Chain A
Amino acid sequence: EIVMTQSPATLSVSPGERATLSCRASETVSTSLAWYQQKPGQAPRLLIFGASTRATDVPGRFSGSGSGTEFTLTISSLQSEDLAVYYCQQYSKWPPWTFGQGTKVEIK
């Protein structure tokens, strides 16, 4: 199965600053890569699919890039409501879907 590795595990960013989250796949997934935001007690919310396409109603400060095995989620200007855990997921090879272990974004 494809192993997804996220870094860092925790990211502390000041409000208004840029946050950069990384996700690496153990083999190529082309652009079949999604990013999710999960707040405590809530289901994961789809932010990005196709590595770089924002889902419906996702603010423009969220952007995704990359292809193959290296991917990045960027929050251009961190807001307090962006406090959450962020997961990447590959859906190139199914089954199984595989997820990264998550990056927790903290407000500094």
Chain B
Amino acid sequence: DVHLLESGGGLVQPGGSLRLSCADSKSNFDQFAMNWVRQAPGKGLEWVSGITASGTTTYYADSVKGRFTISRDNSKKTVSLQMNSLRVEDTAVYYCVKFDLSWGQGAPVTVSS
């Protein structure tokens, strides 16, 4: 029962920007913190960013701090990840993950010239 749906992935050149979005179809969205977790090709899982349920506090992995921005809109039940100054090493599938451990299907992001 997948209720998180990511969108916005694609191919972008190094230095470019991309915005990922994740929509939750469940009514309890505003009760849970949200996260983005990524998986580079052939690699393991890496936590990227998180945001509290209210949206007042955000957190980032050192590898993306200053380049990525997480935000949420509880009225629309969506969480977004604005990715700027993208690097080749940001290439990965990005998963939206709710704090109750439910996962989306993933959005592939490829950074390449």
Contacts and interface: CB of A to CB of B under 8 A. Distances in A.
Nearest to A46: B101
A94 B33 contact: yes
A87 B2 CA distance: 19
Interface string B60-71: 010000000000
A49 B106 CA distance: 21
Contact of B50 (A89, A94, A98): A94
B29 interface: no
A86 B35 CA distance: 20
Q: Chain B interface mostly helix, strand, loop or mixed?
A: loop
Contacts of A71: none
Contact of B104 (A34, A43, A94, A97): A43
Q: How large is the interface on A (under 10, 10 to 19, 20 to 34, 35 or more residues)?
A: 10 to 19
Q: Determine the main DSSP class of A at the interface with B.
A: loop
Interface stretch (B11-19, B39-47, B79-87): B39-47
Contacts of B106: 43
The size class of the interface chain B forms with chain A is: 20 to 34
Given A94-B50, A99-B44, A99-B47, A46 B59 contact: no
A87 B44 contact: yes
A80 to B, nearest CB: 23
A106 B35 CA distance: 31
Given A87-B44, A101-B44, A102-B44, A95 B50 contact: yes
Interface of B: 1-2, 33, 35, 37, 44-47, 50, 59, 61, 95, 99, 101-106
Interface of A: 34, 43-46, 49, 56, 87, 89, 91, 94-102
25 contacts: A43-B2, A43-B104, A44-B45, A44-B95, A44-B103, A45-B103, A46-B103, A56-B1, A87-B45, A91-B99, A94-B33, A94-B50, A94-B59, A95-B47, A95-B50, A95-B59, A96-B50, A96-B59, A97-B47, A97-B50, A99-B44, A99-B45, A99-B47, A102-B44, A102-B45
7 closest A-B pairs by beta carbon, nearest first, are A95-B59, A99-B45, A96-B47, A97-B47, A101-B44, A43-B103, A95-B50
